[in-house]
Amino acid sequence: MLKTTEFAHLLIKENINSNDIVIDATCGNGFDTLFLANLVPDGKVIAYDIQEAAINNTKELTKDFNNIEYILGSHEFININNCKCVLFNLGYLPKGDKTITTKSNTTLNAIKNLINQFDKNPNMIIYLIIYPGHLEGSEESIILKEFTSNLDSKRYMVTLIEPFNQNNAPYLITINLKQKKTH
């Protein structure tokens, strides 16, 4: 069985061209940034994290690449054009400080901010990997499910990939604009 991050990577790979602009909204130890950097050799990855340790770990893991911009700062303030993918792998830094974790209010702000930018990023897909198995993650899960499940179905496509036979397993939500009809 594929892990939730592997499902996300599979979908991202299917929707990305080599010259695309993509965002890792939570670069952590750099594994997702590394995956994305390999997909866009002629494009760009922008990697965010609020922890210096995370940015340093990501820089170290991706030191052979020159298509990555690292931003020490919160993903709430993303402002982007022509972006194809924004990946949020939520929670805390594995092997790091478990008290520094994504928070439901800032994650929600970040998603709302991105949704307001769909007009300048019509082909963008937002990927949310959510971990309900820890305290903050459980609250984040409830709030994000509530928000995303109520997005206007005429304008947005929202999908959920969730292990069905397991409690509190990590799961994936994707959000994209429904394609405009040309006729």
Ligand X SMILES: C[S@@+](CC[C@H](N)C(=O)[O-])C[C@H]1O[C@@H](n2cnc3c(N)ncnc32)[C@H](O)[C@@H]1O
Using CB under 6 A as the criterion, which residues of the chain lie in contact with ligand X when the complex forms?
Answer: 26-32, 48-51, 54, 74-76, 89, 91-93, 100, 102, 106
Tokens (6 digits) for 104: 């439901």
Closer Cβ to ligand X, 133 or 177, answer by number: 133
The token pair at 112 is 């709302």
Of 101 and 121, nearer to ligand X (C-beta) is 101
Shortest distance, position 34 Cβ to ligand X, whole Å:
8
Provide the sign of the torsion angle of the four alpha carbons 62, 67, 72, 73, taken in this order.
negative
Nearest residue by C-beta to ligand X? Answer: 28
Residue 131 main-chain phi, psi, to 5 deg: -115, 90
Minimal distance, residue 140 CB to ligand X, in Å: 11
Nearer to ligand X, 29 or 148 (CB): 29
Task: Give the total residue count for the chain.
Answer: 183
Nearer to ligand X, 20 or 140 (CB): 140
* Residue 52 φ/ψ, nearest 5 degrees: -60, -40
Angle 39-25-53 (CA atoms, 0-180°, nearest 5)? 100
Cβ contacts of residue 121 below 8 Å, gap of 6+?
A: 80, 81, 82, 83, 84, 114
Task: Name the residue nearer to ligand X (CB basis): 24 or 180.
Answer: 24
